[in-house]
Structure 1
Amino acid sequence: MKKSDENTLESIARELYHDAQYIGTDGDDAVHFWSLYHQAVVVIDDEMETYELADTPLSTLGDWTEHTEAKRGEWDELLVADGGMAGVINTAMEAGA
């Protein structure tokens, strides 16, 4: 289930979590989606896995991105900024400009 069409992958992630939003592609080319409401991450690579932060030793999305980078290498693309949701919006607006 590699990243061939991000819209299709986002639709798959949203079937699990209605508010799933693309956050980035890690160093191993897996695509990550974040559900703020459920505090969960959907990771799509050759298969799909979900991780609710409450079930991990990680407590924030920032922790998740740092952990992923340590395990899978530098992110190819990451839309999460240090400024929280405002940073995400700002990064998305800059990308669209």
Structure 2
Amino acid sequence: MNKSTTNLILGSIISVGGAALAVSAYREKQNEVKTYEDTDMMNSDKIDKMESVDADKDDGEKGLTQLDHAHRAEWVANGFPQTHQEMKELEEEDTDTH
């Protein structure tokens, strides 16, 4: 074999090896899923029983669970009632209008 053919074969082997290594590293990276246990919704049964971390700081958080705490911003943005009192008032208004 002449020198250019040998260099071509070696270069091809190195390229294939590098591509295989890159694919292997990419697949390994995809399998690494980092989650934070306190906000992972797969553990929602745990956070649905724990009291909100802000319950002692914010009156609106009293009686809420960690899961409720996570959804509270969405409730506020959509105008859902925040307290049992507000729910009762809405129910009374609803029965008064019918």
Compute the TM-score of the two structures, normalised by the length of structure 2.
Answer: 0.25
Name the structure with the higher strand share. 1
* Larger RCO of the pair (alpha carbons < 8 Å, separation 6+): 1
Name the structure with the higher helix share. 2
